[in-house]
């Protein structure tokens, strides 16, 4: 052994430990928190605590100040000096030295850095904190303490130790980076000295990578914060060979991208810590001298960690202590704990630290040794925490009834339909699973054709977002459960509403990829684009593009749902951003056999999209221990889809479902009465199944086709059918073998993503027979049978005005309305010192364009809703804000409050600018108006803010920047740079926020419904005539009524009659925006007949955004 190794590892020439001398790696410092004093001399002047003789203080004053926190750990058994010696052995152990190097590398990302980035770290310290706790060395002792304690002995708080000495070993519980503000100055000085020593010992005289490693054992209660005692600080050089080893271990080889389903061999922080803990546990003969006696505190922590959540730990402790203090007998009835008793417990110095209980619970969940030990030693997992120790079981444990303790985690596979939040969590785990990221990268490459592009074409993708949508559906985890439901017998049970399996057995389900689609630029939301920019900058800063801009893709994972009556809508949407590395593109270009990235699952290994999706689905299915945490209870809807997918064609599916409908008996009875033979009744019935198509509860036929294509594509179902011996007659002939259903392509289908747009109505959101659930009421009440109050609109306007994704539109509207892009610099500088304003006028419309078109009709076919009572009061319609008009605010119309806000914001912006010059800043006002013919219009809701106009927006408007197409996608037509198109684009974006991510939706009021009905009149004169006829019940003659003056006076006599100016603005908006005409053509409405008297030409040209005459408006705010 060399002299350098002897000094480094602190051993003598015979390999025995020599930790005590010299004192180079271990520093002595004052134990009082906040004291920075330190002593590293041979004869220290610090004094020990006289009781525990384990901690040091620089003065009696520090000892007195530290006593309130130190007394909770002073004189514990065994002597804390024993723990300090063990920690000294840990920091000088060759195994731990290598482990700490790997942890420091992974925590700081050194394995991802190039040489230049590593060189910058050689001149500054980086840190690692390793937190340790003690557990029984014998796994049986651990299992004995790791179980829910009885109520009469609440975690040994009163009865003390159980009297059995237990051998303990140190275990790594957590690892952290020490913030710079918590690094002591004395440690930095020692780090500098150690760096110089290491540099002199190196052959190239280069300063090393030196880390500050702190080993701590923590303890604390509820009264005080967690504190560290038995601290050991060491200075650890990062060797080059360990760095290379960490790099090879972190980046998986091409042959092991998809690891074995039952094990995880990837070297990351969790596995390195788990391996180290198991290595320490395997030292049965105590060669490393790390064993000691287990304290009562650690026993209590183990017992409390067996309870699955912090809240239940606290509740268990409070109830047990309350029963002991007040001698309350044990019972299943929940106790009401007084607040004073809870406060006294939280302040008790002996109450355990809930943070450490959480850390210990996570450690047990992370390391599989506990599950294996429980199975080996025959411990009943039901007596332990099932969510931790047995949480990776494949099947649900057979128990007589559900235990209340495990109910939150058990309910997803028990006899209760899982909720939306459960699916959201599953999709999030699926999207963020690192083992599936290579699959996602290959799918993105093949779907976008990146492997076929030249370098110039790839560079165009580096500066813009591109996306992939993965559509999932849930299937049974056990292939036998799938085969049982994918049969004609199951279909017959479904049609007869006698699927008894729903009540007898809960089926565990897994997510499966059904379809993969490219997300076009127009379908990427503004939220996704904004987050993509941030992630793109982060990846570029990390150097993932190898000197170029990185390729960053948007990955969207979701589950679709819908019927025949309404379009499909997207549920449980999860979005993440994935960096496409060059090695995967090279792999896709050069190695087309697929044997290197896709294991041999079932058959053909040609590397295409179908096999990649099939490999991912089989990888999910092979996770029999649920290590990926993707399993959930199968819903009734998924069972129906599987049963219907076993039918060979869409027509036969419609036939089976039509027979199930309510009209089935009536139609067959009528056909029988007409003398139609039985064979012909079915054929005659299928000629008209519009009742089924209009049934909102009927499942989507497209999804049945996709599921059928998936079964045809993946050969695992044919292999399973042969293995389990299922009768081929009970399954669709030729489907699982891929030889039948020639009308379907077995490839991965491309989904039309515009199907995800849906109309939110009360029928979609009310569950349990139309009754609203209490938990959904806060967000659902705005669109359920309740007239929104004035404060609701105020909040919506505030969210609209402060939405960062609409700022670019507000800025461009301000530039165009004030013609700033035509001004010279002198004129612009004059505007920097005075306010100029823009006002957006908002009105609410139905979120579904078809609902709006139903309200618009000619006067001859439908009476106008003149009174509130004539409206359908019980019909709840979801409304969205839409810009109706845009106006310039004259300087004299800007209020004093707006001027004060503008001035304050201008001063702040000038202070933040580099040159101190004030920016162009406008007053932006968003208003909602109301008024009648008798009184002037008033503003009932107004929100104001200040809007900065940056120089890049001006360059954009002048055509000196990127074209408009790169920022504003094709919403409805050609992206001309004018106000009308900007307003139309904004309204389209607001309408496309299907999942209400911007929280701008509310219930449509009766006033807005009347405005839409009045706007269907081709002119105001025709509207007054219709009003006159309905008020006087006047017959409708062929000609028009005379005396327009009389008609005007009649309409003015009604104070609730809306102002005709707003009807004009709404009518112009309906004609201006193409989305209504497109929707009318798709939905079968005659758009020309709605506005036949006022459509100029094709009805789409010459419709400008109106300028509101502000001088005729009485500005006031109602209550």
Task: Quick: pLDDT tens for 588-633.
Answer: 765 443 333 333 333 333 446 777 888 788 888 877 777 778 888 8
Question: Which of 401-405, 439-443, 485-489, 1056-1060 shows the lowest mean pLDDT across its residues?
Answer: 401-405
Residue 78 clears pLDDT 60, i.e. is over it: no
The answer to whether residue 19 sits within a structural domain is no
Residue 23 clears pLDDT 50, i.e. is over it: no
User: What are the distances in angstroms from CA 196 to CA 115, 123, 816?
Assistant: 20, 11, 64
Same domain, residue pair 186 and 280: yes
The answer to whether residue 478 sits within a structural domain is yes
Mean pLDDT of 392-412: 33
Residues 6+ apart with CB under 8 A from 1007: 930, 1058
Decide: 941 and 928 in contact? Cβ < 8 Å: yes
Residue 552 has a pLDDT of: 92
Residue 720 has a pLDDT of: 76
Residue among 366, 399, 359, 394 at smallest CA distance from 380: 399
Decide: 506 and 414 in contact? Cβ < 8 Å: yes
Same domain, residue pair 489 and 546: yes
Highest-confidence segment of 483-487, 544-548, 716-720, 844-848: 844-848
Same domain, residue pair 572 and 655: yes
* Continuous H helices in 714-835: 716-724, 762-765, 777-780, 790-801, 807-818, 825-831
Q: Band of the pLDDT at 1114, cuts 50, 70, 90?
A: very low
CA distance linking residue 155 with residue 299, whole number of Å = 8
CA distance linking residue 353 with residue 372, whole number of Å = 28
Q: Return the higher-pLDDT residue of 785 and 108.
A: 108
In the numeric block, which tokens belong to residue 1084? 């079968």
Same domain, residue pair 734 and 784: no
Decide: 552 and 579 in contact? Cβ < 8 Å: yes
Q: Band of the pLDDT at 95, cuts 50, 70, 90?
A: confident
Same domain, residue pair 736 and 817: no
What are the tens digits of pLDDT across the range 635-655? Answer: 777 787 787 777 767 667 766
Mean pLDDT of 786-798: 70
Question: Which of 436-445, 910-919, 933-942 shows the lowest mean pLDDT across its residues?
Answer: 933-942
| Residue 449 DSSP symbol | T
For 203, the domain range is 82-293
In the numeric block, which tokens belong to residue 312? 């239940």
Residue 1011 clears pLDDT 60, i.e. is over it: yes
- Find residue 17's DSSP bridge partners: 11
Mean pLDDT of 657-679: 56
E strand or H helix at 108: helix 94-108
Is 596 exposed, middle or buried, given 0-12, 13-18 or 19+ CB atoms closer than 10 A?
A: middle
The three-point CA angle 493-496-502 to 5° equals 50
Identify the three-state secondary structure at position 1109: coil
What is the domain count for the chain?
3
Beta strands 167-176 and 126-136 are antiparallel
User: What are the distances in angstroms from CA 411 to CA 402, 631, 815?
Assistant: 9, 12, 56
Same domain, residue pair 610 and 504: yes
What are the tens digits of pLDDT across the range 170-188? Answer: 998 888 888 877 788 888 8
Question: Which of 236-245, 738-747, 967-976 shows the lowest mean pLDDT across its residues?
Answer: 967-976
Same domain, residue pair 721 and 782: no
Question: Which of 52-56, 304-308, 848-852, 1086-1090 shows the lowest mean pLDDT across its residues?
Answer: 52-56
Decide: 849 and 1079 in contact? Cβ < 8 Å: yes
Same domain, residue pair 726 and 782: no
Decide: 1007 and 845 in contact? Cβ < 8 Å: no
Residue among 1039, 1068, 1063, 1040 at smallest CA distance from 1051: 1063
Residue 736 has a pLDDT of: 52
Same domain, residue pair 839 and 964: yes
E strand or H helix at 884: strand 878-889
Residue 712 has a pLDDT of: 76
| Residue 154 DSSP symbol | G
Residue 553 has a pLDDT of: 93
Residue among 351, 764, 915, 435 at smallest CA distance from 627: 435
Residue 106 has a pLDDT of: 84
Residue 693 has a pLDDT of: 46
The answer to whether residue 64 sits within a structural domain is no
Beta strands 227-238 and 126-136 are unpaired
Domain boundary among 293, 316, 348: 293
Domain boundary among 271, 293, 315: 293
In the numeric block, which tokens belong to residue 471? 């559509």
Residue 913 has a pLDDT of: 67
- Find residue 574's DSSP bridge partners: 557
The three-point CA angle 998-518-698 to 5° equals 70
Residues 6+ apart with CB under 8 A from 107: 128, 175, 176, 177, 269
Mean pLDDT of 892-915: 80
In the numeric block, which tokens belong to residue 997? 């991510």
Q: For a pLDDT cut of 70, what percent of the chain falls above it?
A: 57
Stated length of the chain: 1119
Same domain, residue pair 740 and 810: no
Residues 6+ apart with CB under 8 A from 999: 796, 799
CA distance linking residue 439 with residue 252, whole number of Å = 13
Residue 483 has a pLDDT of: 80
The answer to whether residue 894 sits within a structural domain is yes
Domain boundary among 236, 260, 293: 293
CA distance linking residue 966 with residue 824, whole number of Å = 26
Q: For a pLDDT cut of 90, what percent of the chain falls above it?
A: 1
The answer to whether residue 1018 sits within a structural domain is yes
Same domain, residue pair 689 and 810: no
The answer to whether residue 561 sits within a structural domain is yes
Residue 1045 clears pLDDT 60, i.e. is over it: no
Q: Band of the pLDDT at 568, cuts 50, 70, 90?
A: very low
Decide: 1025 and 1037 in contact? Cβ < 8 Å: no
Residue 551 has a pLDDT of: 92
In the numeric block, which tokens belong to residue 88? 């000294």
Question: Which of 520-534, 584-598, 816-830, 1024-1038 shows the lowest mean pLDDT across its residues?
Answer: 584-598
Mean pLDDT of the chain: 68
CA distance linking residue 1011 with residue 856, whole number of Å = 10
Residue 691 has a pLDDT of: 47
Q: Band of the pLDDT at 466, cuts 50, 70, 90?
A: very high
Cis omega (within 30 of 0) for bond into 78: yes
Decide: 658 and 691 in contact? Cβ < 8 Å: yes
Residues 6+ apart with CB under 8 A from 346: 222, 223
Q: Band of the pLDDT at 747, cuts 50, 70, 90?
A: low
Residue 252 has a pLDDT of: 38
Residue 121 clears pLDDT 60, i.e. is over it: yes
What are the tens digits of pLDDT across the range 513-566? Answer: 888 888 888 888 888 888 898 889 888 887 888 788 899 999 988 876 544 443
The answer to whether residue 248 sits within a structural domain is yes
Residue 796 clears pLDDT 60, i.e. is over it: yes
Decide: 28 and 40 in contact? Cβ < 8 Å: yes
In the numeric block, which tokens belong to residue 996? 């209400």
Q: Return the higher-pLDDT residue of 460 and 82.
A: 460
The answer to whether residue 371 sits within a structural domain is no
Mean pLDDT of 674-694: 52
CA distance linking residue 26 with residue 187, whole number of Å = 10
Residue 959 has a pLDDT of: 65
Same domain, residue pair 636 and 551: yes
């Amino acid at each position: 052994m060399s002299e350098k190794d002897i000094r480094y590892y602190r051993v003598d020439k015979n390999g025995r430990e020599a930790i005590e001398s010299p004192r180079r790696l271990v520093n002595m410092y004052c134990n009082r928190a906040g004291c920075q004093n330190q002593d590293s001399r041979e004869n220290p002047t610090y004094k020990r605590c006289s009781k525990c003789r384990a901690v040091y203080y620089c003065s009696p004053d520090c000892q007195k100040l530290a006593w309130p926190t130190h007394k909770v750990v002073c004189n514990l058994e065994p002597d804390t000096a024993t723990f300090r010696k063990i920690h000294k052995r840990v920091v000088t152990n060759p195994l731990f030295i290598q482990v700490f190097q790997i942890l420091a590398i992974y925590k700081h990302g050194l394995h991802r850095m190039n040489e230049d980035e590593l060189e910058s770290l050689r001149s500054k310290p980086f840190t690692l904190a390793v937190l340790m706790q003690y557990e029984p060395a014998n796994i049986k002792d651990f299992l004995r303490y790791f179980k829910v304690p009885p109520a009469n002995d609440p975690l040994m708080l009163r009865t003390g130790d159980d009297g059995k000495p237990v051998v303990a070993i140190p275990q790594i519980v957590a690892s952290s980076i020490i913030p710079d503000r918590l690094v002591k100055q004395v440690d930095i000085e020692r780090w500098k000295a150690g760096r110089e020593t290491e540099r002199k010992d190196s052959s190239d005289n280069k300063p090393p990578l030196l880390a500050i490693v702190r080993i701590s054992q923590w303890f604390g209660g509820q009264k005080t914060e967690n504190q560290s005692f038995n601290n050991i600080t060491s200075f650890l050089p990062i060797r080059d060979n360990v760095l290379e080893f960490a790099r090879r271990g972190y980046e998986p080889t091409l042959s092991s991208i998809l690891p074995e389903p039952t094990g995880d061999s990837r070297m990351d922080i969790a596995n390195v810590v788990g391996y180290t803990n198991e290595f320490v546990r395997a030292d049965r003969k105590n060669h490393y001298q790390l064993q000691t006696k287990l304290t009562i505190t650690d026993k209590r922590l183990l017992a409390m960690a067996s309870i699955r959540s912090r809240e239940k730990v606290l509740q268990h402790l409070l109830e047990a202590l309350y029963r002991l203090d007040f001698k309350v007998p044990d019972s299943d009835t929940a106790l009401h704990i007084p607040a004073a008793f809870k406060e006294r417990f939280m302040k008790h110095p002996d109450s355990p630290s809930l943070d450490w209980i959480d850390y210990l619970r996570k450690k047990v969940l992370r390391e599989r040794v506990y599950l294996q030990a429980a199975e080996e030693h025959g411990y009943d997992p039901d007596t332990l925490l099932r969510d931790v120790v047995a949480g990776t079981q494949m099947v649900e444990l057979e128990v007589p009834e559900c235990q209340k303790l495990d109910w939150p985690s058990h309910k997803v596979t028990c006899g209760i339909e899982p909720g939306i939040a459960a699916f959201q969590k599953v999709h999030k785990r699926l999207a963020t699973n690192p083992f599936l990221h290579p699959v996602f990268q290959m799918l993105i490459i093949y779907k976008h054709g990146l492997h076929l592009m030249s370098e110039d074409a790839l560079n165009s993708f580096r500066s813009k977002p591109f996306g992939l949508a993965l559509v999932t559906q849930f299937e049974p985890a056990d292939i036998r459960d799938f085969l049982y439901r994918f049969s004609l017998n199951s279909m017959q049970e479904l049609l007869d509403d006698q699927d008894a399996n729903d009540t007898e057995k809960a089926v565990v389900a897994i997510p499966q990829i059904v379809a993969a689609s490219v997300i076009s630029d127009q379908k990427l939301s503004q939220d996704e684009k904004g987050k993509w920019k941030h992630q793109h900058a982060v990846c570029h800063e990390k150097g993932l593009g190898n000197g170029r801009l990185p390729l960053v893709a948007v990955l969207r994972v979701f589950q679709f749902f819908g019927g025949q009556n309404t379009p499909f809508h997207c549920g449980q949407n999860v979005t993440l951003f994935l960096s496409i590395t060059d090695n995967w593109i090279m792999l896709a270009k050069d190695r087309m056999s697929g044997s290197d990235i896709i294991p041999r699952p079932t058959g053909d290994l040609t590397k295409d999209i179908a096999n990649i999706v099939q490999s991912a689905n089989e990888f999910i299915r092979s996770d029999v221990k649920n290590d990926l945490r993707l399993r959930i209870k199968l819903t009734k809807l998924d069972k129906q889809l599987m049963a219907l997918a076993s039918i060979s064609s869409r027509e036969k599916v419609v036939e089976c479902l039509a027979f199930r409908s309510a009209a089935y008996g009536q139609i067959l009875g009528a056909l029988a009465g007409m003398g139609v033979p039985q064979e012909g009744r079915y054929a005659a019935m299928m000629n008209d199944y519009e009742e089924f198509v209009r049934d909102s509860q009927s499942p989507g036929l497209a999804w049945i086709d996709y599921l059928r294509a998936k079964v045809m594509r993946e050969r695992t179902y044919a292999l399973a059918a042969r293995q389990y011996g299922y009768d081929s007659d009970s399954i669709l002939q030729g489907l699982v073998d891929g030889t039948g259903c020639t009308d379907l392509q077995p490839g991965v289908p491309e989904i039309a993503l515009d199907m995800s747009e849906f109309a939110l109505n009360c029928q979609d959101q009310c569950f349990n027979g139309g009754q609203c659930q209490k938990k959904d009421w806060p967000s659902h009440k705005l669109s359920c049978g309740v007239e929104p109050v004035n404060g609701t609109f105020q909040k919506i306007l505030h969210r609209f005005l402060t939405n960062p994704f609409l700022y670019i539109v507000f800025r461009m509207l301000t530039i165009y309305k004030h013609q700033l892009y035509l001004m010279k610099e002198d004129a612009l500088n004059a505007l920097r010192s005075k306010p100029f304003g823009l006002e957006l006028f908002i009105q609410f419309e139905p979120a579904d364009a078809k609902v709006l078109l139903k309200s618009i009709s000619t006067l001859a076919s439908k009476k106008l809703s003149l009174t509130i009572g004539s409206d359908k009061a019980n019909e709840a319609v979801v409304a969205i804000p839409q810009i109706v008009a845009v106006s310039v605010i004259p300087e004299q119309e800007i209020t004093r409050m707006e001027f004060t806000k503008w001035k304050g914001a201008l001063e702040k912006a000038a202070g933040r600018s580099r040159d101190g010059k004030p920016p162009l800043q406008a007053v932006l006002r968003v208003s909602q108006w109301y008024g009648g013919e008798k009184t002037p219009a008033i503003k009932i809701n107004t929100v104001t803010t200040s809007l900065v106009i940056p120089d890049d927006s001006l360059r954009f408007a002048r055509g000196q920047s990127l074209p408009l197409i790169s920022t504003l996608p094709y919403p409805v037509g050609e992206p001309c740079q004018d106000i009308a198109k900007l307003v139309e684009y904004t309204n389209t974006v607001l309408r496309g926020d299907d999942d209400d991510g911007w929280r701008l939706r509310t219930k449509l009021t009766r006033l807005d419904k009347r405005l839409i009905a009045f706007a269907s009149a081709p002119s105001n004169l025709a509207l007054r005539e219709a009003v006159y006829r309905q008020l006087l019940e006047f017959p409708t003659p062929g000609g028009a009524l005379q005396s327009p003056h009389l008609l005007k006076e009649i309409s003015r006599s009604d104070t609730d009659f809306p102002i005709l100016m707003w009807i004009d603005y709404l009518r112009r908006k309906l004609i201006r925006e193409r989305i209504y005409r497109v929707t009318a053509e798709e939905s079968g409405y005659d758009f020309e007949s709605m506005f036949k008297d006022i459509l100029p030409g094709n009805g789409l040209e010459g419709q400008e955004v109106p300028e509101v005459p502000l001088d005729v408006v009485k500005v006031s705010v109602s209550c």
